[in-house]
Amino acid sequence: MRIIPDGPRFLDQLRAALGPAGLNAFGVVSAARFDALAPPEVRTDRVHPPARSIVVIGSGGPAHWSAFLDYVAADPLERFARRRHPFDAFAAHVFGELGALTEGTRVVFPTFGGELPLDFMKLAELAGLGRPSELGILIGAAFGPWFGLRAALFTPHLIDETGPVARLCDGCDAPCKPFVDIRARREACIVAPEARYDELERLYHYDRAEGRRRLCLRFQITDEITGPIY
């Protein structure tokens, strides 16, 4: 019989392995609690029957973006100019490098055209990474609105849950409300302003075509992707 290492050790190993890539937000929800709330098509008996816990992993602040730029710099043509979704490809690369650490675990990404209709915002809320906000995205105490969801690991490890958490918009003076533009509203949030993305990353997320153009200039390459950029 294959022995499953203890959950806390597994989580520590994940943190150590993923930290250098700027994957620094971790939340855990039990398979039982997830299944009680999830639609049938994404319950663990359909997604990964051995799962006892789901680890939701995100990137908070600018660290993941910095790691992404270093990754692209090693081969800008292949890792950026020829990929429609290079940021997602980078995350997939990082998790692919985990090797034996994810043996017996299913990794699911919140990517375009993903194989599962998994509601990552709800999953991250259950795992305690944040709560839905006035901005329409999650806000958490550690990174405010400045984090993204990168993967969910359906694992046989039994790990203590980390959620839920308080909704930080409740009782807030809401300096975001006067703004109509979603980017301006996000930048007005008073939770964890030190975690704010730099200007180039914010541009890339809100104006993908211009963001790609700027990065092609930075790396002195020609974009080989044609058609709509999103």
Would you say residue 3 has pLDDT above 50?
no
Q: What is the pTM of this model?
A: 0.94
Mean pLDDT value of segment 119-143 = 96
Q: Is residue 230 part of a domain?
A: no
* Per-residue pLDDT, 148: 97
User: How many domains, the chain?
Assistant: 1
Q: Is residue 225 part of a domain?
A: no
| Distance in angstroms (rounded) separating the CA atoms of residues 133 and 136 | 5
Q: Is residue 170 part of a domain?
A: yes
Q: Is residue 228 part of a domain?
A: no
Task: State the CB neighbour count (10 A cutoff) for residue 36.
Answer: 9
Its domain, for residue 159, covers 7-219
Each residue of 22-58: pLDDT tens digit?
Answer: 999 999 999 999 999 999 999 999 999 999 999 999 9
Each residue of 110-123: pLDDT tens digit?
Answer: 976 677 889 999 99
* Per-residue pLDDT, 11: 95
Each residue of 154-166: pLDDT tens digit?
Answer: 999 999 999 889 9
pLDDT band at 5 (very low <50, low <70, confident <90, very high): low
